[in-house]
Amino acid sequence: MMLQGPVWRSTLLPELFCRPPVADLVRLKLQRPLLKGSAILEKRASYRKPIGGPTNLLDVSCPGVLNSDMLLRLDPADITEARRLNRKLAWMPKFRPRGRIKAFLMHGVMRMGQLRPQPYLQRLNVDVEMREVTFDGGRVRVRILRPNTRPRGVYLDIHGGAWIVGNARCDDPCNAMIAAECGMAVVSVDYRLALDNRLDLCIEDCRKAAFWLVENGESEFGTDRIVIGGESAGAHLAACALLALRDAGQVSGLAGAVLFYGAYDLSGSPSLRAAGPETLVLHGPSAFRNLKRLTANRSEEERRRPDISPLYGELTGLPPALFLVGALDPLLDDTLQMAERWNAANGNAELTVVPEAPHAFNRLKTPIAVKTNAYVRRWVSHRLMAPATVHSDKVA
């Protein structure tokens, strides 16, 4: 039976439906709600064929669904290369979020690596500056990348790093491409890290940066069109900032959100709790322990409060969102559940589950990463041209 309500345009790779790997990503209109958790990988048959589209999932020329330019296209060679890299990653050290001392050491090593020059910025004609911005009596450091033309919009970027490592410069490679290719200014938040388990400071800095940009975008960059994005912990912080903007009635200028493999349930989603030490890139048990450490002053129920776990918040009145996650990511369920709830509330969520992809897959040197990042830039450019679809009414 057909369910009532808004139709969710979901993007899923055919790799999730059949073997051997196939050539393209297809967009499907679902006739039933998204399956809970990682059951999406086990019950592929519960998805229907595209409405009005082809009967063969290998055929992606879906008339009336979306322009082919907005498809993420992969071929068998891309999947093969990803599997080859995954075999290497299985033998390599994994990122283990740990306490203050270990995080401080990791951050120091990262900063040493950032002493190298960045010739790609000049090649892309992108200018960079560090600034302190002020909102509500508080100061936040931001890194601003500007294209060599008047910006068409502003991309508010929030970096990842398990809330305890990383800085705004970490995202320069991706942000420079957004600035150059999308013609956008990029404001990357250099938020305070939770080295003392002060997760609230991370959330507060990102909230203030978002409000500053909404209030000053026109005067600073000549545009009020804003896309908010983040990866991993950055996607969590971006979601928290979006909810704060919505609550204050400040979402009318938001063109969209790009949320890569975020952690939206800080009590630990089912896939994260079940993740063993064999997970690629991100050490599953360490990631779960990191959540418990950062929320040590809260009970299990309190960890699910919307102020730190946006999955459990009221999600109505939010802009169109693109959710992306790898099928091998311990945080898979976070994205699946968040995308489902976002779409149930707004009817404007799009989901991309990428096969053979671990955590942070878009940062690896693979064809899948290159194509995914290019796909995101096309999606962002498309959102800048679309009319505003959210209202600025405050949520009580």
User: CATH no. for residue 268?
Assistant: 3.40.50.1820
The pLDDT of residue 130 is: 96
Render pLDDT for 249-288 as a digit per residue (tens, 0 to 9): 999 999 999 999 999 999 999 999 999 999 999 999 999 9
Are 18 and 128 within one domain?
no
* 41 and 119 co-located in one domain: no
- The confidence band for 380, taking pLDDT boundaries of 50, 70 and 90, is very high
Residue 44 confidence (pLDDT) above 70: no
The residues with which 144 forms a beta bridge, in sequence order, are 129, 187
pLDDT, tens digit (0-9, with 9 covering 90-100), for 94-133:
988 876 667 667 767 777 776 777 888 889 999 999 999 9
**Alpha-carbon span 334 to 328, nearest angstrom:** 13
Check residues 365 and 29 and name the one with the higher pLDDT.
365
Residue 393: is its pLDDT beyond 90? no
Q: Please tell me the predicted confidence (pLDDT) of residue 83.
A: 96
Structure tokens at 27: 């967009």
Residue 174 to residues 30, 169, 211, 223, 253: CA-CA distances in angstroms? 31, 10, 23, 21, 23
| pLDDT for the residue 134 | 93
d(Cα 336, Cα 297) in Å, to the nearest integer? 27
Residues 113-134, buried b or exposed e (16+ Cβ, 10 A)?
eeeeeeeebeebebebeeeebe
**In the predicted model, is pLDDT for residue 154 greater than 60?**
yes
3-state helix, strand, coil in the chain (%, to 5): 40, 15, 45
43 occurs within a structural domain: yes
**Co-location of 322 and 191 in the same domain:** yes
Pairing between β-strand 153-158 and β-strand 349-354 as defined by DSSP bridges: unpaired
Predicted pLDDT at 392: 55
For residues 350 and 343, the answer to whether their CB atoms sit within 8 Å is no
Cβ atoms of 380 and 227 within 8 Å: the answer is yes
Query: Where is pLDDT greater, at 29 or 300?
Result: 300
CA Rg value for the chain: 20
The tally of domains found in the chain comes to 2
What local confidence, expressed as pLDDT, does residue 245 receive? 98
Of 88, 122, 150, which residue sits at a domain end?
Answer: 88
Q: Do 83 and 118 lie in a common domain?
A: no
Please report whether residue 148 resides in a domain: yes
Do 113 and 134 share a domain, yes or no?
yes
In whole angstroms, give the CA distance from residue 348 to residue 139: 33
Q: Enter the tokens of residue 282.
A: 């991100």
| 126: β partners | none
pLDDT at 67: 42
Measure the N-to-C terminal CA separation of the chain; round to a whole number of Å: 35
Averaged pLDDT for residues 347-362: 95
Helix boundaries (H) for the chain: 76-89, 100-113, 119-123, 172-182, 199-221, 233-247, 270-274, 284-294, 332-346, 367-385
Any domain includes 1 = no
**DSSP label at residue 145:** E
pLDDT for 116 = 78
- Of 53, 70, 88, the residue that ends a domain is 88
Residue 339 has pLDDT above 90, yes or no: yes
396 is a domain residue: no
Q: Are residues 108 and 79 in the same domain?
A: no
What's the whole-number average pLDDT of the chain? 82
29/107 same-domain check: no
Q: What is the DSSP letter of 5?
A: S
* Selection from 238, 257, 260, 234 nearest residue 363 by Cα: 260
Q: Note down the domain range covering 247.
A: 95-385
Task: Give pLDDT, residue 394.
Answer: 59
Cβ-in-10-Å burial (0-12, 13-18, 19+) of 298 comes to middle
Least confident of 21-25, 133-137, 207-211: 21-25
Residue with tokens 């250099």: 190
Q: Do 308 and 201 share a structural domain?
A: yes
Task: Give pLDDT, residue 119.
Answer: 86
Distance, in Å, from the CA atom of 28 to the CA atom of 33, rounded to the nearest integer, reads 12
Q: Given a cut of 90, is residue 49 above it in pLDDT?
A: no
